[in-house]
Amino acid sequence: ADGKRDVVDPEVRAYVSSLVTALGGSGADEDGRYVLGDDALACLRDLKRWLKLYDEKANRLDVARCLAESNLVGGDLLQILAAWPENATDDRLKSKIALACLELLVPLTWPLSKDSKEMTVNHHRHVPYLETAQLGYKRSIINFDGARILHTAIRCALPPMAVDMGDRSTRDEGIIKLLLYFIRNIAMIAPPPNVQYEGDEAEISRSATIDAFDYQDVFHLLLTVSSTIGEDYNTQDVVVLDILFHLIKGVDIEKLFLDEKAADNSKMDELVRLRKKEAAMLRNYQTNAPTRHNRFGAMAWLQREDAKMTTISGQAAVTDSSRGLAKMDATKKFKPPRRALKGDNGPMDFDTPVHLNVQATKHLREFIEEFLDSGFNPLFNHIRKAIDREAERVLDFFYLISWFLEAERVRRRNKKPSKVQQSAVSEEVDSYSLVASVLNQEMFVTLNRAMDYTFEHKSWQDLSAAMKCFTQILLTVQDMLESPLEDDQEIAENILNRIFYEETTHDRVANITRTYKDQGFGYLDSCTELSHHYLRILEQYSKQNVDLQVRSRRRVRRKKKAARAAGQDVADDDIVDESEGEDTTRAERTSHERKFEFKRFAARFLSQGCVDTFVTFTAYYNDLKSSQLKRAHRFFYRVAFKQEMSVMLFRVDIIALFYKMIKGPEGLDPQSSSYKEWDEFVKQILKKCTRKIQERPELVVEMLFSKINSTAHYLEYGYEKQTVTTK
Amino acid sequence: AKGKSAAGLGIDEEIEVTRKPRAPRVKLDEHRLLSNNGIPKLRKKAKNLKFKGKGHEYSDASRLLAFYQLWLDDLFPKARFLDALAMVEKMGHKKMMQNARMEWINEGKPHSGVH
């Protein structure tokens, strides 16, 4: 830059760049090899001091900017690290220098916070530049030709890692943390949203990161640390969690676990599917498109009452009155003021999908499977305890649990076909103990507390992650019920039993669903998903037949007897002494009681707020997957037919939405799988609606408004709900 | 004061700058909704609403939607159908509207209160 308009104090720049120059360099005399300067170690330490004492203390970022401009990372640090050969690990000076390089790399790649309260003028000046520079760092680190940089970095920390946890010094712990933070930073750096990265995206994409991590043995490191956490490592848990989060956020699990051949097929299928969708859109347009040129100039009159006329131009109005009305509507210009949705696309965003290439998919899948087998329980158990001790950032914790639980479920499902063939070895059916650490009572307590806290403090993203976590736990429990292992079944039954009678959880789920306002689509998706599965699973539980309950009681009794026979002291339980007949009557009573309980519970979702949330969700129908559409369909079906409060859906905007979904313009694709069930449902609703209007003319007015429950009840049944019992 | 202004050729006289007040924005509020053109008219017109019933669900729905759309277009021409619906819905939470709504519902109820 020219000296006059420099953004950095020239003196600072002079000092820093002289240090960078003194560090070393390559020249023709040494065949282009990099040669260290005489006092390289001291230079590195000086640079570190500059970063610390000038940038950090004065909160300026000037030195970081100078270092970015002088290409310290690509030109010097990486060269120095690359020149540390594997067989020279014992060389003390070289390992010291390597460590000093790492100590510089960590602050340089540290995520730049954009907390508006702490930002100074300097931050605003430097942050955009530094963000791009960090992308460059990442690119050169993971794609470095001469050596495996990340691997070298790990080597820096190997000696301290070899020491027993009790014997490590603070410095040793610090080095291990430094290394993990370095890896975290590399995993975290990504092009900021709404900035176009000028270089090759593929070089810094998630796929490239995963490939590099696999090639440079970072995955091994992560597995080692996470599987022995609590024994060999203690304070490193949160960093590991962060690394995992930035590796897997947004990755589609279904795609991850498809094998390669199926993946190829599914790609072809996807292309076909997308082409079909596009064709459907075009067809939709063409049925409504004008059949003559655009200056044909047709004009229609719409005769209104009181001898009024409305004119509509274009042919649409001539052929079809409803299209004419749509055209009349479309020409209006007025827009009511509206607030924008709160979307978050920062580094913590996990709703944006990420695509991986074949290679990276394979590597990541291998890693995930190994992690589930060895590292999941220790790591998450350890972190849960840490969170219980002191509340800290829990977003990625819950998100990771939900992600890994889903991964585990998908993995099991994909394994099944081969299992059936070799049913002889059914002994080998593995239990759910691999993920047991997140299914215990303590976890539920933590999760409930987190949901309460985040809901109260309006941190919607955290709440969304917690809801995802809860959903996945429910789904896992449901899978466990079908497990062939008795222990798994018993655990699952116990969990369901507890959830079923926990009123506070019911209230919370219903409340969250009811109060959706403008938290963005990701949140909407997780809260509708949670309430869908919650309702569904509890309904199944309430319907659980008498048979099953008798069987489970019999099981318990058998166990108790066995325990008694073994001479153990068992507290006298009523179950042991009952006969089969008593079992049946008792089971019948419980199942009856449960049905009633469920009905009461499901009624909480009848409020207008819940319906509105699902209506907002359904309004995205053209972008929803079929599973999401199914979710909305089941909810409305439940409201209208299972609980017989279709009145809640009789509002003009809801009816208009349903009508549009089927009849267009821009409706659902008639060839799609969900079209049929929606068509059926909408038809039923419309039929009910017109019949109701004829039955109760008051509904014509009430259709404009949200109804409170008593009004809705009157409209539905024709009499007021009896709330006060007369004596 | 009059004499002075005559001497000074009216230069000193303050000129009153009168800006024409901006025309008030038309709003879809509860008064408009309760006026003759509003919900009373909707109720009157609804008596002419006829449905064909079974097998004609979609054409019935389109007739119903057209009925509401034309009514809203008369009442508040500048807003689009769905926007206007949202505005009306919002008005339904007002005390005045709620009272009116209760009255309309009670009119429809059978007069004998025996169930």
**Band (A493; pLDDT cuts 50, 70, 90):** confident
Residue owning tokens 């709504």: B101
pLDDT of residue A726: 41
The set of residues, in sequence order, having a beta carbon less than 8 Å from that of A390 and lying 6+ positions away, is: none
Flag if B101 and A659 touch (Cβ within 8 Å): no
- C-alpha to C-alpha distance for A315 and A325, rounded to whole angstroms: 12
pLDDT of residue A548: 65
> Are residues A450 and A473 in contact, defined by beta-carbon separation less than 8 angstroms?
no
Flag if B49 and A693 touch (Cβ within 8 Å): yes
What is the amino acid identity at position A230? G
Task: Read off the tokens for A599.
Answer: 């009905």
What is the amino acid identity at position A631? R
What is the amino acid identity at position A149? I
pLDDT of residue A483: 79
* Most confident of the following: A94-98, A102-106, A493-497, A514-518: A102-106
pLDDT of residue A328: 86
Flag if A652 and B115 touch (Cβ within 8 Å): no
> Are residues A693 and A704 in contact, defined by beta-carbon separation less than 8 angstroms?
no
Instruction: Give the helix ranges, DSSP H, for A189-320.
Output: 206-215, 218-227, 237-248, 253-256, 260-288, 316-319
**Band (A580; pLDDT cuts 50, 70, 90):** low
What dihedral angle (degrees, nearest 10) is formed by the CA atoms of A78, A82, A83, A87?
150
- C-alpha to C-alpha distance for A305 and A284, rounded to whole angstroms: 33
pLDDT of residue A95: 86
Apex A655 CA angle, A654 and A659, nearest 5: 120
What's A231's DSSP letter?
T
Flag if B88 and A705 touch (Cβ within 8 Å): yes
**Band (A564; pLDDT cuts 50, 70, 90):** low
Flag if A655 and B69 touch (Cβ within 8 Å): no
> Is the N-terminal amide bond of A484 cis, ω within 30° of 0?
no
Radius of gyration of chain B (CA): 26
Q: Is the pLDDT of residue B2 over 60?
A: no
Q: Is B10 left (phi over 0), alpha (psi -120 to 50) or beta?
A: left
What's A85's DSSP letter?
-
The shares of helix, strand and coil residues in chain A, as percent rounded to the nearest 5, are: 70, 5, 25
Query: In 3-state terms, what secondary structure has residue A259?
Result: coil
As a whole-number percent, the residues of chain A with pLDDT over 70 amount to 87
Task: Read off the tokens for A371.
Answer: 């992690």
- C-alpha to C-alpha distance for A620 and A618, rounded to whole angstroms: 5
pLDDT of residue A618: 93
Q: Is the pLDDT of residue A182 over 90?
A: yes
Residues composing chain B:
115
The shortest CB-CB distance from A329 to any of B46, B61, B81 is to B81
Flag if B108 and A706 touch (Cβ within 8 Å): no
Task: Report, as an integer, the average pLDDT of A244-268.
Answer: 81
Flag if A329 and B42 touch (Cβ within 8 Å): no
> Are residues A455 and A411 in contact, defined by beta-carbon separation less than 8 angstroms?
no
**Band (A613; pLDDT cuts 50, 70, 90):** very high
Q: What is the pTM of this model?
A: 0.85
The shortest CB-CB distance from B78 to any of A332, A702, A711 is to A332
Q: Which of A451, A399, A357, A469 is CA-nearest to residue A242?
A: A399
Summarised one tens digit per residue, pLDDT across range A2-39 is 555 677 888 888 998 899 888 888 776 777 788 888 88
Residue A24's φ and ψ, nearest 5 degrees, are 150, -175
Summarised one tens digit per residue, pLDDT across range A390-439 is 756 566 788 889 999 998 888 888 776 554 444 444 444 566 788 888 88
Q: Which of A59, A55, A51 is CA-nearest to residue A19?
A: A51
Task: Read off the tokens for A594.
Answer: 């449960």
Q: Is the pLDDT of residue A56 over 60?
A: yes
Task: Report, as an integer, the average pLDDT of A236-254.
Answer: 88
The larger pLDDT score, comparing residue A682 to residue B15, is at: A682
**Band (B115; pLDDT cuts 50, 70, 90):** very low
The shares of helix, strand and coil residues in chain B, as percent rounded to the nearest 5, are: 55, 0, 45
Q: Is the pLDDT of residue A321 over 70?
A: yes
**Band (A559; pLDDT cuts 50, 70, 90):** low
Q: Is the pLDDT of residue A596 over 70?
A: yes
Task: Read off the tokens for A601.
Answer: 């519970």
CB < 8 Å from A in window 21-40 of B = 39
pLDDT of residue A724: 47
Q: What is the 3-state secondary structure (H, E, C) of A399-410?
A: HHHHHHHHHHHH
Query: In 3-state terms, what secondary structure has residue A311?
Result: strand
Mean pLDDT score of chain A, rounded to an integer?
A: 82
pLDDT of residue A5: 64
Flag if B108 and A696 touch (Cβ within 8 Å): yes
Task: Report, as an integer, the average pLDDT of A593-607.
Answer: 84
- C-alpha to C-alpha distance for A533 and A522, rounded to whole angstroms: 17
**Band (A566; pLDDT cuts 50, 70, 90):** low
* Most confident of the following: A362-371, A540-549, A635-644: A362-371
Flag if B78 and A334 touch (Cβ within 8 Å): yes
Summarised one tens digit per residue, pLDDT across range A64-97 is 989 998 888 888 888 888 888 777 767 788 888 8
- A297 to chain B nearest CA, in Å? 24
- CB count, 10 Å around CB of B34? 15
Say if B96 is an interface residue toward chain A (CB within 8 Å). no
Q: Which of B107, B14, B90 is CA-nearest to residue A612?
A: B90
The shortest CB-CB distance from B62 to any of A322, A328, A697 is to A322
The larger pLDDT score, comparing residue A556 to residue A482, is at: A482
pLDDT of residue A517: 85
Choose the mutation target among A680, A686, A693 for the interface with B, i.e. most B CBs under 10 Å: A686
Query: In 3-state terms, what secondary structure has residue A299?
Result: strand
As a whole-number percent, the residues of chain A with pLDDT over 90 amount to 16
Residue A299's φ and ψ, nearest 5 degrees, are -140, 135
**Band (A358; pLDDT cuts 50, 70, 90):** confident
- C-alpha to C-alpha distance for A434 and A443, rounded to whole angstroms: 15
- CB count, 10 Å around CB of A478? 18
A322 contacts in B (CB within 8 Å)?
62, 65-66
pLDDT of residue A673: 84
Choose the mutation target among B25, B58, B75 for the interface with A, i.e. most A CBs under 10 Å: B58
- CB count, 10 Å around CB of A249? 21
Task: Report, as an integer, the average pLDDT of A338-364.
Answer: 76
- Sign for the CA dihedral angle at A158, A85, A205, A371 comes to negative
**Band (A108; pLDDT cuts 50, 70, 90):** very high
Task: Read off the tokens for A190.
Answer: 């990504």
- B21 to chain A nearest CA, in Å? 22
> Are residues A106 and A177 in contact, defined by beta-carbon separation less than 8 angstroms?
no
What is the amino acid identity at position A174? G
- Sign for the CA dihedral angle at A621, A622, A623, A627 comes to positive
